[in-house]
Structure 1
Amino acid sequence: MEFIAAAEVAVLGFFQDLEIPAVSVFRSMVQKYPDVPFGISTDSGVLAHYNVTGNSISLFRLVDNEQLDLEGEDVESIDETKLSRFIEINSLYLVTEYNPVTVIGLFNSVIQIHLLLLMSKASPEYEETMRRYQQAAQLFRGKVLFILVDSGLQHNGKVISFFKLSKSQLPALAIYRTLDEEWDALPMAEVSVEQVQNFCDGFLQGKLLRENHESEGKTPKVEL
């Protein structure tokens, strides 16, 4: 329990038998994901605590206190590709970088409010901005998923345009609710913890800055 609680994401193999092929596949992941702690347990008391009756590989996410399991035939037939995909799709950190793999996990998450930081990772301000963004993410753990969209990558242009933003307006924050596709966006010269907190709180309270701009005639309303 302490091992799981100490990491944003932890992966545990609960095995009845350490000689099965899945164990060697599991061990191969340790080198591939050096930032993710991996553990193995064969203790019957531990397996019972986590409701494991056979062989299972479980990923634990601190951000929303989720336990996601691969069990039975999924473990028996596991290979490196399948296990890698399971880890990447379900590894939602305090801040998750948007890419074609993680987007599946993001939209399958039980957390319906997603906050996106649209910013180039090549920016000189990137490291400091990310530090503040991660600090703000602590305040909304379990309520809002914090996401980074690298605006320096060409294929992320569609995300920027979805929120009616241009690259000249970046960095910016964009917030999105998966249930009804409601969204809002806020360009800013410098990202601070207070700005992020106010933007999230406003959206959660139903206040949309975008509607204010549209009512002023600055941006025509476009159906999504």
Structure 2
Amino acid sequence: MKVLSFSVVAAVCCVIAATTNETEKDPAEKSVKTKKAKKVKIKEENGILMLKGKNYVQAIDQHKRLLVYFHAPMSGDSQTLLLEFKSAATLMKNDSSKIHFGMVDVSQEKSLAKELNVTSFPALWFYTEDEESPTVCPALRTASSIVTWLQRRTGPSATLIKDGSHAETFLKSGNVVVLGFFQDLEDAEVQIFYEAAKDIPDLPFGVTKNKIVFNKYGITGDTVLLSKKKEKNPFLYEVSNETSKKDLIRFVRVNEMDLVTEYTRASSGKIFDALVTSHMLLFTNKSAEDFGVIYENFEAIAAEFKGKILCVFVNTDEPRNGRIFEHFRVRDVDCPAVRIIDLTTSVQYQMQADEVSIDNVKKFAEDFLGGKAKPKLESEPIPEDWDKHPVKELVGRNFERVAFNDERNVFVMFYAPWSEECQKLFPILEKLGKVYEHHESVVIAKIDSTANDVHTVLLERYPMFKFFPATYVEKIVPYQEEKTLEAFVHFIEKQLKELQEEKEKEKETKESKHSDEKLKEEL
């Protein structure tokens, strides 16, 4: 399968590129505020300023607070966020913060986007009069998160919890809630907590110094508590003078996730916000009889590697997940399957085992973290001796050149190296290779389908055998007989005989046609 976008992974990959979890400064080499432009009337649609190169600087100068949305009409993610951006503009219309909303269509304003150095879309920039350069917003995907993010930048970023009753109500206000316990709200660590809260607008944040609240939850020192409705006990992070904003954001993003998160459109944002760049994905059918066992095994490993690897479940029975299947090149024949992707390099890894057992998944995770796992590529390198043995070793790079050859009849075994059934058949294939080792037109070959993508062949299972006859058209004949040496030979000889008969008929047809044409010329 060919790679797609992770919205998927390319779907998965555009989301990854657009996602940022910390505030970035000075995205442009030079601030646009240093330039002057002639004032023009700025067009407005539904409370949103339509910004262009000729009025961009003017809009920034005229408005103390301006949120700018860089919109790419051809991007599905950009179209989705546009609806949320418009809703946020409506919600903030009468807000006391007096924040204005503006939009740039980058398909029409390419020069402006280049000048500002806007390289990923969709993008949100927030301008304020007291800052020379704009603040690049983190990945905000809903109107409510946009509004909360803005409000936390222009007002308190955490709710002040005054007593035990208030704390109890607050901690029940959402599925995931964050509460900071600080003995002195003027300490520098509290400001770091506030800054972290600004960049996590999708979760409610509270802060308290009340001793009764401290005692109620057994807190003795400066601590950040994360409460989840699904968990009996909260997650705690002890704050020190060495704690950074990044530390707090990572603590929240890692612990807000379930041990295994099911991939959906709604959860995709949180998956990439988790700040864990190594993701292990389980592809299997939720309605399968053995799903419970498979999921429990996967979840057990998720607990062991929490914080190092983020575990995600992808339901293969969900049609809307098709794009992520394509991104990871996963087929029905592969499932249940486990993959790992390193988001820092976009390199994928495939578990080298059929069974999703605790031991197999654990070894896969350990091999990956230890640098021993083998990356999954579209093609392995062509072995130097690939054609020096009775059974030729094909890879993605030389498959079509060998298989679709009008001078060779090629019988190919598509295998998975860890499959016990495949391993049992290798000796038989070697014997078959020796039978045809010196045949002038027959080639016996094999290819590891788990390490090489062959786009022209649809595989239903492992192992699979197919015959590629020596014709001028790309023809594929599936093998569906017994997997014995005698049956293989009988099948190949039958195909050779049929091919010879076809060629003789074709020759007779050509000769007959030539004879008819010659007769017409004589007449």
Q: Deviations over 1:77-115 (max 9, x none)?
A: xxxxxxxxxx99973111111112222121112211110
Equivalent of residue 199 in structure 1, options 356, 364, 368: 364
**Cα distance in 2, alignment partners of residues 189 and 212 from structure 1:** 20
Where 1:143 maps in the other structure, the secondary structure is coil
Identity of aligned residues (%): 22
Once the two structures are superposed, the pairs formed by residues 72-91 of structure 1 within 5 Å of their partners are 91=256
- Aligned pair count reads 178
Letter in 2 for 1:149: V
**Cα distance in 2, alignment partners of residues 109 and 89 from structure 1:** 5
Q: Does 1:59 align with 2:59?
A: no
**Cα distance in 2, alignment partners of residues 126 and 102 from structure 1:** 21
**Cα distance in 2, alignment partners of residues 138 and 24 from structure 1:** 30
Q: Does 1:101 align with 2:235?
A: no
**Cα distance in 2, alignment partners of residues 51 and 14 from structure 1:** 15
Shift of 1:138: 2.4
Q: Deviations over 1:176-210 (max 9, x none)?
A: 11111111123754210111111112222333152
Is residue 254–residue 307 contact of structure 2 (8 Å, CA) maintained in 1?
no
Equivalent of residue 44 in structure 1, options 201, 206, 210: 210
Q: Deviations over 1:3-62 (max 9, x none)?
A: xxxxxxxxxx97226898x98786464xxx6xx79999977132894568xxxxx63589
Letter in 2 for 1:144: I
Where 1:174 maps in the other structure, the secondary structure is strand
Greater Cα radius of gyration, structure 1 or 2: 2
Equivalent of residue 306 in structure 2, options 131, 141, 153: 141
**Cα distance in 2, alignment partners of residues 88 and 143 from structure 1:** 13
Is residue 113–residue 144 contact of structure 1 (8 Å, CA) maintained in 2?
yes
Instruction: Choose 179-188 or 196-205, whichever is displaced more.
Output: 179-188
Where 2:261 maps in the other structure, the secondary structure is strand
**Cα distance in 2, alignment partners of residues 195 and 213 from structure 1:** 24
Task: List alignment gaps of at least 5 residues for structure 2.
Answer: 1-158, 180-205, 238-251, 382-393, 396-448, 456-523
TM-score by length of 2: 0.29
Q: Using CA pairs below 8 Å that are at least 6 residues apart, which structure has the higher relative contact order?
A: 1
**Cα distance in 2, alignment partners of residues 132 and 166 from structure 1:** 22
Is residue 254–residue 276 contact of structure 2 (8 Å, CA) maintained in 1?
no
Q: Deviations over 1:139-171 (max 9, x none)?
A: 212211111111111111111111112122111
2:437 maps to: none
Is residue 88–residue 101 contact of structure 1 (8 Å, CA) maintained in 2?
no
Is residue 120–residue 152 contact of structure 1 (8 Å, CA) maintained in 2?
yes
**Cα distance in 2, alignment partners of residues 123 and 24 from structure 1:** 41
Is residue 281–residue 313 contact of structure 2 (8 Å, CA) maintained in 1?
yes
Equivalent of residue 131 in structure 1, options 282, 285, 296: 296
Letter in 2 for 1:179: T
Letter in 2 for 1:183: Q
RMSD: 4.1
Letter in 1 for 2:286: K
Is residue 163–residue 185 contact of structure 1 (8 Å, CA) maintained in 2?
no
Where 1:148 maps in the other structure, the secondary structure is strand
Change (3 A) 1:167 1:38: same
Is residue 88–residue 102 contact of structure 1 (8 Å, CA) maintained in 2?
no
1:170 maps to: 335
Change (3 A) 1:209 1:158: same
Q: Does 1:182 align with 2:347?
A: yes
**Cα distance in 2, alignment partners of residues 141 and 27 from structure 1:** 25
Is residue 111–residue 143 contact of structure 1 (8 Å, CA) maintained in 2?
yes
**Cα distance in 2, alignment partners of residues 118 and 198 from structure 1:** 18
1:114 maps to: 279
Change (3 A) 1:28 1:142: closer
Once the two structures are superposed, the pairs formed by residues 5-20 of structure 1 within 5 Å of their partners are 15-16=161-162
Where 2:311 maps in the other structure, the secondary structure is strand
Letter in 2 for 1:124: E
Is residue 115–residue 145 contact of structure 1 (8 Å, CA) maintained in 2?
yes
TM-score by length of 1: 0.62
2:148 maps to: none
Letter in 1 for 2:226: L
**Cα distance in 1, alignment partners of residues 329 and 256 from structure 2:** 29
Change (3 A) 1:154 1:66: farther
**Cα distance in 2, alignment partners of residues 108 and 138 from structure 1:** 19
Is residue 119–residue 170 contact of structure 1 (8 Å, CA) maintained in 2?
yes
Is residue 214–residue 221 contact of structure 1 (8 Å, CA) maintained in 2?
no
**Cα distance in 2, alignment partners of residues 88 and 102 from structure 1:** 13
**Cα distance in 1, alignment partners of residues 178 and 300 from structure 2:** 25
**Cα distance in 1, alignment partners of residues 223 and 256 from structure 2:** 21
